[in-house]
Structure 1
């Protein structure tokens, strides 16, 4: 399993970095729809693992929403005079609020499942709240321009990814090595408190990198934001695990050997990106 994960990462990471840094934001926004359609199809299995009609219906719904967003708010008009477009701000804010609700659902699982487990409409709504704000936040960050660097927005996207990757990797290896205290066994039996703490410590490597590249940043703020985003990313992981467990699904898909599906790969980012985007708007815009 670890070997497969490494092999997949070797070809996947350059592909992701190339798209982030080399694709103009207008093309990036349209190309990203294909990725999110795969994730939507995988979420359709969470809604109803047996009904293809339900799965494709949800996929089409998400596709229509994303295409409409790209048409109504072209990527090069998201930021005007340093202000984010109201539609994008509303979607990102709704996304962040959704993660507050998701936290309650995760903390009270399996009791909370009685409210939504047999309700396809609610699970469809939860899927839209998970995927659409993530898409919007990703495009919003990528489209930020700066006189300092033409790759400023792309670097912000990479920063969030590095925080998530560091947290995930630290949690995985520390959890494997010394993990004993179950974090939330009803949601994800393999995750441990030691792993979570290890992941948070690992993200401090990202903090060190930020301070080396941009020493004018306030250290305390960078540390606080990094740790908070890492914690939120863990919520994204736990939330997807909760929905998969309720649907009796181990992996959302098989498209990425060793990693499962696209949804398995971006679950942490679905929470981290909207929250980081709001924080950025509040403290750095």
Structure 2
């Protein structure tokens, strides 16, 4: 399994880097649509894994919304004099609020599941709140650029991904070697407090890298933002685990060998991107 995961990751990383740094923002936004459409199809199984009509209905709804966002708000016109398009800012803010609510649902699981377990409407709404703010946040960061540094937005996207990857990798190895105390046994029995601590510590390598490349950054603020983003990514992972547990699904899909589905690969990113983007806008714009 680990070998398969590594091979798949080695195949995906070049594609991700080309997308981040080699594709203009407008085309990048359109490239994201089919990826998030597949993720929406997978979320449809959380709503009702027995009903293809429900799954496709949710997929089509999300896809239409993503297309509408790209048509109405082209990625190359989102920023004006350092200010983000208000609709995008509102969607990102709503996304962050959702992740606060989702974290509360995770902490109170399985009792919280009584509120939404049998509601297709709520699970559909949760899916839209998970996917659309992440989509919008990705485009928001990617579209940040200047004549002095046309790759600035791409670098921010990569930093968020590195934080998430560092958190996942550190948590995996720390959990396997040191894990004794369960983090959320009702949600994900394999995750441990030691794993979470290892993941958070590993993200400090990203802080060290950023400080080395850009030493004028304020260290304390960078550490806080990195840790908050890492924690958000951890609860994004736990949130998907919660929905899979209720739906009695092991993996959201099979499209990525060793990883499962698209949702299994981006679950941490769906929380990390809105949280990081909102903090970035508040602190640095």
- Sort the TM-score into its range (normalised by shorter chain): over 0.9
Secondary structure of 1:110's counterpart equals coil
* Aligned equivalent of 2:104: 104
Taking only aligned residues, the RMSD between alpha carbons, in angstroms, comes to 0.5
* Aligned equivalent of 2:143: 143
Q: CA deviation at 1:149?
A: 1.2
Aligned equivalents of 1:252 and 1:128: distance in 2? 16
* Aligned equivalent of 1:9: 9
Q: CA deviation at 1:148?
A: 3.1
Q: CA deviation at 1:225?
A: 0.5
Aligned equivalents of 2:283 and 2:90: distance in 1? 18
Q: CA deviation at 1:146?
A: 2.5
Q: What is the correspondence of 1:124-135 to structure 2 with a 5 Å cutoff? A: 124-135=124-135
Aligned equivalents of 1:200 and 1:104: distance in 2? 20
* Aligned equivalent of 2:81: 81
Aligned equivalents of 1:274 and 1:147: distance in 2? 26
Aligned equivalents of 1:276 and 1:71: distance in 2? 25
TM-score of the two chains, using structure 1 as the length reference? 0.99
* Aligned equivalent of 2:236: 236
Q: What is the correspondence of 1:101-250 to structure 2 with a 5 Å cutoff? A: 101-250=101-250
Aligned equivalents of 2:238 and 2:166: distance in 1? 17
What are the superposed Cα offsets for residues 2-34 of structure 1, whole Å, 9 maximum, x if unpaired? 000000011001111111110000100011001
- Runs of 4+ that moved beyond 2 A: none
Unaligned runs of 5+ residues in structure 2 are none
Secondary structure of 2:150's counterpart equals coil
TM-score of the two chains, using structure 2 as the length reference? 0.99
Aligned residues: 285
Secondary structure of 1:203's counterpart equals helix
Secondary structure of 1:9's counterpart equals helix
Aligned equivalents of 2:108 and 2:158: distance in 1? 33
